[in-house]
Structure formats: C-alpha cells, structure tokens
Structure 1
Amino acid sequence: MKLIIFDFDGTLVDSRKLIIESHRVVFGQFGFAPPSEDESLSLIGMSLELVLSQLAGPDAPVGNMVAAYQHLLPLLRADAAFAEVPFGGAADLLAELAGHGDVRLGIATGHVSKAVEPALERFGWLNHFCTVQTADKAPSKPHPAMILQALGESDVDADDAVMIGDTAFDIEMARAARVSGVGVSWGYHRPDRLRAAGASRLATDMAELREVLFETISSSRREL
C-alpha cells in the first residue's frame, strides 16, 4: 500500500486571491497595515497563529484575529472573485489515484478541519482522502506530526509514503518524518527553495507530477 499525502493551498488549489483578501480585511479590522503579497505567500503552509505572529508581531491579538479569519473565510469562499480554484488537472489526478486499490490519499494542511473539509467537499474530493491532517490536530509544519499521524491512520510505513507540496515547510516536514518529499513549482515557494529544503523530485506541471507518482507506484509494485 502506498500513501500519497497532498498539501492543499498552492498544491491542489490556487488560493492566492483568498489569502491576500483575507489578510487585507482582517489586518484592517485590527488596525494593522496589511502585509505585502510576497510576505503573505511566503508563510503559507504554517498554522495561522504562527503566520499572524510573524506578520503582525508577537504583541498582536492573534487569537482574536484567528477568530476573525474563521468568520471571514466562508464569506470570501462564497464570492467567486476570491474562492479557491483547483489547478488544472488536479481533480483528474486525484480521481485516478483514488481509483487504485493499492494507493491511499491524505491531506496535510495549515488549515483547521472546519476550514478545509468544506472546501474538499465543495470540490467533490473529500471521499478521496482516508486521512486529513490539519492545524487543530497537530503542530504546525514543518513539525512531522501531521505526516506521522497520517501514516498511523493509514497503516502505511514511511518508506511507502510521499508528501507533495509547494512550500519548503512541506518538504522539511517530509524529511523530518523520513518520508520522500516531492515539490511542485506552481505554488508559493520558488523551485530553488524547494530544492534547498531537500525535495527529492520537482514537478513543473500536473502532468509531470502524475508521471512522478505513477513511477513511484510502479516501483513499489516491482519491489513486491
């Protein structure tokens, strides 16, 4: 059995507009100048509390800001101008992988459960995943807990798992859990940063990611 764990934002969906607008609104509500787009996107993947602490400073009312984000998120998702959009080919790839009897799928995201699960359900993806690891279940990336918990829930060994992500935090988390980490170049961290974090492979589009994953699956079958 092979476990393929996906990051969400920047890997499966383009959430750039949602992230930037949510920062603009919430920072404005609390009297802070909103961070730049580069600052905002550089921290995607970490838990929201850590992101806000870095962007707004340690003295910011982080708990209240997090609550404001959780209230705002469904409102922005209901607006087509800001809602996440799956990257081309993501839905087909997930459906194809989910159809393989010897493959299990997981999610590891900086979102909390009540934020990511409605999005997965909206895209028709929720049933694809046997494990969904979120910021309310484990420490923030790059701590390895999300992957370790996913392995336990899936009953898969680390040698038979791979983490797919667009940020250095995803790759560092994979390395800490002794799992192979594959980077994707269409997300929020540059390819050189993913390589420096230790990505074993780097996919430049969804078709190449498919090749990498099915090559991994085929290799596991040959070993058996």
Structure 2
Amino acid sequence: MSMKRLVIFDYDGTIADSRGSIAHCANLALEAVGRPQVPATMVQALIGLPLRDIFGRLLDDGGDDEILDGAVAAYRSRYADVDRAHSRLYEQMPELLADLKRAGTMLAIATGKSTEGAHRGISRHGLDATLFDLVLGSDAVPRPKPYPDMVLVILDDLGVHPDDATVVGDTTFDIEMGVSADVDACGVTWGSHGHDQLRHAGAKWIVQTRDELRRLLLQE
C-alpha cells in the first residue's frame, strides 16, 4: 500500500499491553457488586467495547442498571492504580508513532475507553500527547465500536477521505469499525483476537510483529 495521510489506532492491545490490567480490574469490579469473577480470557475477548457493554456480556443475566452502573463505577475507581502497576507500552510502538508523525502522517486514537480515560492513559504511559491529532473515546459518539461512528467523526474532523486512512487494531471490533466506515483495516496479532478472527472480520492486512507494522505503514 502507499503511505496514508491518516492512521487511526486502537489503544488497548495495540499500543499498550493493558489486557491484564483490564481483566484484573473488571474482576475486582464484579466482586464489588457481589458477582463472581470470570476467567481473564473472557474479559480480554471483549476489550474494545464500552465498559457497560463489557459488564453486560460478562454477567449471566446481563445485569440491571444498578448493577451495571455499580460495576462501571467500581472499575473506574480502581483502574488507574491497577494500570499503573501492571500495563506497559508495547516495545517499538512509541518510536513507530514518532516516526509516522515525522513523516507527515496524521495520527488518531479510537478507543473503547472514555475520551478522558484515553488521555489519562497516554499521560500515564509517558506518550507525547502532541503525537495525536485527535483522541476519541466511546463516550464521544452515539454508537461506539464495532460501529463506524468514531472513524467517521475522525475523518470529518481531520478532513481526510476514507481512501487516505487506515485503521490499526487488535480486535474484530476495530476491524469492523474500519470496514463499516469504508476504511482499510490492519489487524495486529499481539493483542486480544487471533489471525483468523481478524481476517474473518475483514482485515486487509494482518501483521504479527511491530517490524511488520512499521514496514506496512511507513512503506520501508
């Protein structure tokens, strides 16, 4: 592919290895509302969706509003400390982001976190916030992942045609979001979903290493 004007990145599982933090914190939240903990893999398979949707799927009965609100509040009250202790940026990702920016590529984040939570994560992980032309969370649109709304807002705000953009993410939710917005999507296999899942969701490219992603995006 030729270099794109804009690359839209997912955050958790793509830029940052926060899967363990999210799973641990989700189980603490379930415990706080009197519900049993679940295997970490169940939580990790849902990363990318808004928190309320994640808890709705984790609870056998879907949970009522009080339970869901309580779980989300308990999660948010604990997450910063858990994330600070257990998550990290994937190796080579800060350098890739900086090199893309130097090459003139616009960068955006579309995440299942809240927009405020995404900005806090960027700061907590020591990323340069000025790398990103736009950071958008699930609270910024009527329909978050896997719907196309976040990508459509980013394209509109930055004045970029879908043909000039790429979505990069580790889950089918990311890929479906991009494909639904008529934007080519690249799946990365170091996160939550595997090669076959990403391909089935419509990924145009699938990479297994950051070196492969670098060559694809920078056309090295």
Q: For the superposition of Structure 1 and Structure 2, which TM-score range results when normalised by the shorter chain?
A: over 0.9
Is the aligned partner of 1:146 residue 2:135?
no
2:24 touches 2:40 (CA, 8 Å); kept in 1? Answer: no
Give deviations 1:32-85, integer Å, cap 9, x for gaps: 11121121111111111111101023224111211111111122234x2x2x20
Is the aligned partner of 1:203 residue 2:204?
no
The TM-score, its normalising length taken from structure 1, stands at 0.91
Q: Which letter maps to 1:98?
A: K
1:70 touches 1:115 (CA, 8 Å); kept in 2? Answer: no
Give deviations 1:183-214, integer Å, cap 9, x for gaps: 00100001100000010001110010011112
Kindly report the root-mean-square deviation, in angstroms, between the aligned alpha carbons of the 2 structures.
1.3
Q: Which residue of 1 aligns with 2:106?
A: 104
Cα distance in 1, alignment partners of residues 121 and 69 from structure 2: 23
Aligned length: 212
1:105 touches 1:129 (CA, 8 Å); kept in 2? Answer: yes
The percent of aligned pairs where both chains have the same amino acid is: 33
Give deviations 1:70-113, integer Å, cap 9, x for gaps: 111122234x2x2x201110010011011122x10000000002
1:38 to 26, 29, 41: 41
2:196 to 192, 197, 201: 192
1:19 to 19, 22, 25: 22
Runs of at least 5 residues in structure 1 that lack an aligned partner in the other structure: 219-224
Cα distance in 1, alignment partners of residues 7 and 69 from structure 2: 33
Q: Which residue of 1 aligns with 2:13?
A: 10
Give deviations 1:4-54, integer Å, cap 9, x for gaps: 000000001101221121012111111111121121111111111111101
Is the aligned partner of 1:128 residue 2:128?
no
Q: Which residue of 1 aligns with 2:62?
A: 58
CA drift of 1:125 comes to: 2.9
CA drift of 1:150 comes to: 0.6
Cα distance in 1, alignment partners of residues 81 and 89 from structure 2: 18
Equivalent residues in 2 for 1:107-118, closer than 5 Å: 107-118=109-120
Cα distance in 1, alignment partners of residues 31 and 74 from structure 2: 11
1:26 touches 1:68 (CA, 8 Å); kept in 2? Answer: yes
Q: Which letter maps to 1:127?
A: T
1:183 touches 1:201 (CA, 8 Å); kept in 2? Answer: yes
1:72 to 70, 73, 78: 78
Runs of at least 5 residues in structure 2 that lack an aligned partner in the other structure: none
Cα distance in 1, alignment partners of residues 113 and 185 from structure 2: 20
Cα distance in 2, alignment partners of residues 143 and 49 from structure 1: 16
Q: Which residue of 1 aligns with 2:93?
A: 90
CA drift of 1:2 comes to: 0.5
Q: Which letter maps to 1:91?
A: P
Cα distance in 2, alignment partners of residues 71 and 114 from structure 1: 14
SS at match of 1:136: helix
